[in-house]
Amino acid sequence: MLRSNFEKDLNKLHVDLDKMCHLVVLAIENCITAFKSGDRELCRDILSGDKVINDMERTIEARCLSLILKQQPIASDLRNVSTALKVVTDLERIGDQSADIAEILLETDVKCPYKMVEHIPNMACLARDMVKGSIEAFHEHDLKKAAKIKELESQMDGLFEDVKVELVQIVNEDKENIDLVINFLMIAKYFERIGDHAVNICEWIEFNQTGTVDNYRLI
């Protein structure tokens, strides 16, 4: 009976996680669209969506803590709940960073900002793909897929360096662009951080399957 209750509660937890994953991916995709189109209404939608993501984080955290306290799981069961608790934190951070990008776009008075900095759209698409891939790996318990996502981190770092070079050139051409360049730099940094959180999710998949992260045993 206890085992049945645990599995039922764990299933509810994963249903909520699925919904949160969908909202987070939607937030990133909306950021990409808003960056390309300058759609301010879409930016406001992203900010509203972040509040929903924050609420879902609290709900899932409460479910996780309830499971730990009531069921006192051990071994792989404990790792399943602990992994969900960690993954939801990274998902919430991704939602926050999407909202940060939306706020900057609302303050940026440029019709086609993506045309000014070639590599930011590339960063945005890579961040989206990393998050999607990490979520798929999480649902499928796929260590190989998680490892491939982690390997993309160096590509993201390289794109960030390319963006910084582009931004220096923009400033050198016209010093009045300094405020705009700072906004672009922050947007790029947030996409880079989104990639970092995707890598974190992949590390928690490794923990879930093996009890270790980068060969260090945790449980």
- The mean per-residue pLDDT over the stretch 203-217 comes to 81
H helix intervals, 38-152? 40-71, 75-107, 119-140, 143-151
| Domains of the chain, first to last | 2-217 (1.20.58.220)
Contact (Cβ atoms closer than 8 angstroms) between residue 208 and residue 79: yes
Q: How confident is the model at residue 115 (pLDDT cuts 50, 70, 90)?
A: low
For residue 1, the model assigns a pLDDT of 44
Identify the sign of the CA torsion 19, 20, 21, 27. Answer: positive
Contact (Cβ atoms closer than 8 angstroms) between residue 92 and residue 159: no
Distance, CA of 33 to CA of 181 (rounded, Å): 20
Number of Cβ atoms within 10 Å of the Cβ of 33: 15
Q: Taking all residues of the chain, what is their mean pLDDT, rounded to a whole number?
A: 91
Q: pTM of the entire structure? A: 0.92
